[in-house]
Amino acid sequence: MSKIKLPSTLEGKTILVAGAAGFVPGHLCEFYLGLGAKIIGLDNFITGSRSTVELLSKNKNFEFHECNIFERLPDFSKNKIDFIFSLASPASPIDFDQIPVEIMRVNSEGTLKLLEVARAKGARFLEASTSEVYGDPEIHPQVETYQGNVNPIGPRSCYDESKRFAEAMTMSFHRHYKVDTRIVRIFNTYGPRMRPNDGRVIPNFITQALKNQDITVYGDGQQTRSFCYVSDLVQAIHNVMFCDDPTPFNVGNPDEYTVKQAAETIIKYLGAKSKIAYRPIMQDDPRKRRPDLTKLQKISDYRPKVTFEEGIKRTAEHFKGLK
């Protein structure tokens, strides 16, 4: 299989990014602004940051619209749109508890509206799905052909099942309307501009370590995760957008850590006095999580570049600077 050829510039191209005020989408917008593209960002700030939009708005090629994409999109009748990134969904366990209906709506009604824009504009569409579609996996590492082990009525189902629906909707538009679509399944990602109270492993651990508080680990800490620094993730997504395969791709970092190892590494690297405090494990918490990247690496030269230690350092520096 031949390797993809990535564009050196995207000047003259317009990219619509849903969720532009969020953590990963904000970094994605920066990346494409750096390639000369015009970005139209959408967000309702339910979890996104206004400071991210302020940062992006310093670039003359960034345009922003505040909206709920599952209710109504701006009028794009006069816009040329070449690429659409569907990245609007909240993705944290605290969000699953607090805004489950909004998560389900953005991944169903919101995805439908974005796909309709892609169909009308002849734009290439990328659905940012998640490793959560695999649920608590029965095979390890996870390959794209694995169909998952998901609890359809559990506390994580608002996210797991709505992302599975979003993938199905994307493939339906591809098959039925011939829309040019892509799908990525994002594994654990971290980096600067995450919410300190995000509820996910890395921001929780760093925030606690910086305050020398106990590090909260759920269960025995032997469940595993694979942590990808955000710049590496953006590069992986970029590779998939410019390939020719509409079926899902895992994107992330294959390096695997137990949650306990991650906590110990962060304590050591930040010189914290924290100790590990164990709490009862949450329902449906996956025991294993590591992407098989064989499919992505067959079509691209993708290799994660940022080590876990370097990524933690950069992320901690960001958190230190927050008021």
Residues annotated as catalytic (active site), given as ranges: 159
Written as six digits, the tokens of 151 are: 């609890």
Written as six digits, the tokens of 112 are: 């439908």
Q: CB-side exposure of 83: number of CA atoms within 13 Å? A: 23
Residue with tokens 């659905």: 127
Written as six digits, the tokens of 30 are: 């920066």
Helix axes 23-34, 230-241, angle to 10 degrees: 60
Establish whether the linkage from the previous residue to 141 is cis, with ω within 30° of 0.
yes
Q: Which residues contact 186 (CB under 8 A, 6 or more apart)?
A: 24, 128, 129, 130, 131, 233, 237, 251, 252
d(CA 323, CA 321): 7
d(CA 317, CA 192): 8
Helix axes 259-269, 308-320, angle to 10 degrees: 60
Provide the H-helix boundaries in the chain. 23-34, 50-56, 93-98, 100-105, 111-121, 157-177, 201-210, 230-241, 259-269, 294-299, 308-320
d(CA 66, CA 286): 34
| DSSP bridge partners of 127 | 86, 183
